[in-house]
Amino acid sequence: AVSKTRSVDEIRQLYDRGQRDFGENHALELQSKARELPADIRWHFIGHLQTNKVKTILPYVHLIHSVDSPRLVDEIQKRAAAANRQVGILWQVHIAKEESKHGFEPESLLQFLEECPPSTYPNLRPRGLMGMATFTEDQEQVRREFAHLAKLHKALQPSMDEMLRER
């Protein structure tokens, strides 16, 4: 459940009905809510994450949906290791025809994963890819962008499976 902009009381109502996964896109808001709500909530960070905010969310986050650069990967690994935590991540891929969107270029993600063996990041648990399509009415363009992401996922599946097996 995307809980950004929702109050602690609203989140607690969903929690009381069995919801355990909540998504936030602001580090300080996630931290504040996590401190007030039950510890078994699985917090998801769903927005663009700056490296200086990793320390804010790391104690609480279950899955980071927006890992978009080698620098961010290094920071998450460093903070997760210091906290003795395993953190799930999604590799964010830039598939849109908009410069305002973030993410690895497909080729640079392939190169990064080839150059950095799983042992480089023992505290990270890659769970898949994430991409944001172009904000457009052109549904064919959106389909092409997500088809490109699916093709990349298929190409990466063996190496992602290997990363998970090694853990």
Please list, residue by residue across 77-111, b when 16 or more beta carbons sit within 10 angstroms of its beta carbon and e when fewer do. Answer: bbbbeeeeeebbbbbbbbbbeeeebbbbebeebee
Amino acid at 89: I
Structure tokens at 5: 């902009």
Tell me which residue of 84, 41, 45 sits closest to 68, measured CA to CA: 45
DSSP secondary structure of 49-100: --GGGHHHHTTTEEEEEEE-SHHHHHHHHHHHHHTT--EEEEEEE--SS-TT
Average pLDDT, the chain: 92
pTM of the model: 0.89
> Any bridge partners for residue 67, and if so which?
91
Q: What is the mean pLDDT of residues 44-67?
A: 96
Query: With contact defined as beta carbons under 8 Å apart, do 123 and 77 qualify?
Result: yes
Q: Above 60 in pLDDT, residue 92?
A: yes
Confidence band (pLDDT; 50, 70, 90) for 163?
low
d(CA 121, CA 72): 12
pLDDT digits (tens, 9 = 90+) for 96-154: 887 778 899 999 998 998 888 778 899 999 999 999 998 999 999 999 999 999 999 99
Q: Which pLDDT score is estimated for 161?
A: 63
